[in-house]
Amino acid sequence: MKLKFTILSLLILGTSIFSKANDSLTVDQDLEQFQAEIAFQFYADSISNSLKYEHGVVNLKNNIATIKIPQGYKYLNGEDADMVLTDLWGNPPREGDNMSLGMLMPESTTPMSDSTYLINITYSPEGFIDDADAKELDYDDLFDSMREDMKDANPSRVEQGYPTMDLVSWASPPYYDAESKKLHWAKELKFGEYPINTLNYSIRVLGRKGYLELNVIGEMPVLEEVKSNINPILESVNFNEGNRYADFNPDIDQVAAYGIGGLIAGKVLMKAGLLAKAGLILAKFWKIIAIAFVGFFAGIKKFFGKKEEPNS
């Protein structure tokens, strides 16, 4: 509620400023667009200035893992990260284990920068992932299966008010490092009629009782930058002693019902109801939100800018 009140206040403020400056002018569509963009910039700047960035070493999820913030990056805590994903970037609210533990982003950008990307961090306590299937996977077959699953899920997405989602290609094919127990791959996605395709670069760090998820969210033009930084990102996150993959105890620890293929495709997880929510794959929708603000601003401006008709 506080965020929505702030948005409305800023829009009204922008309207008031420009109404007073232009009382004697006939405001045309271009000027309204300009005013709306400035009002939206006020809003974006206020949100960006409220975020509290961290550097150094951060403990994750009650100290089960540690992240050493890579050089050239900054970190947001889970509360700020969820606000960015939902209120700024237009993703559905996330609950339970889907809530963010934190977020990395390039040092020189803000969530509203055109060329930025974010690395959202979550933890899935789904059990120990047996990686025995890693060497036998056919990634072409896996891709075809994933694409069909996304198509099948689109009617449900539309019914819940979200755009369709289609898998275009591997932006980077899956790679599993059996020694470090880290897996990464990237998908190129198309959301509805949005003109720029979305990048989802997925990183999984396997542990004793589940895995850390690092999901890079941005638009396709940032792919090369992400790939050039993938090694320091991979090296920055590790489970702490007692929660590492090597600490697995078959006598007491649960084993997940899927392996590496299930992590990549999500097919087994969707059948189990674990990935059914429409907001699982995140996207960068703030430009669409900005367009909506322009329309909202124009409506408010007309409402508050009305003058009383003189009595005849």
We report the CATH number of the domain holding residue 237 as 3.40.1000.10
CB-based contacts of 143: which residues, under 8 Å, 6+ apart? 167, 170
Do 263 and 124 reside in the same domain of the chain? yes
Phi-psi region of 256 (alpha: psi -120 to 50; beta: other; left: phi over 0): beta
Summarised one tens digit per residue, pLDDT across range 207-247 is 999 999 999 988 899 999 999 999 999 999 999 999 999 99
Domain that holds residue 8: 2-49+290-304
Do 294 and 190 reside in the same domain of the chain? no
3 state SS for 108-172: CCCCCCCCCCEEEEEEECCCECCCCCHHHCCHHHHHHHHHHHHHHHHHHHHHCCCCCEEEEEEEE
Task: Share the mean pLDDT of the chain.
Answer: 78
Do 42 and 153 reside in the same domain of the chain? no
Do 11 and 134 reside in the same domain of the chain? no
Q: Is residue 21, in this structure, part of any structural domain at all?
A: yes
Q: Is residue 277, in this structure, part of any structural domain at all?
A: yes
Distance, CA of 81 to CA of 6 (rounded, Å): 18
Mean pLDDT throughout 161-187? 93
Do 167 and 244 reside in the same domain of the chain? yes
Do 91 and 162 reside in the same domain of the chain? yes
Summarised one tens digit per residue, pLDDT across range 252-302 is 999 998 999 999 987 444 433 333 333 344 554 444 443 333 333 344 333
Query: How many domains, the chain?
Result: 2
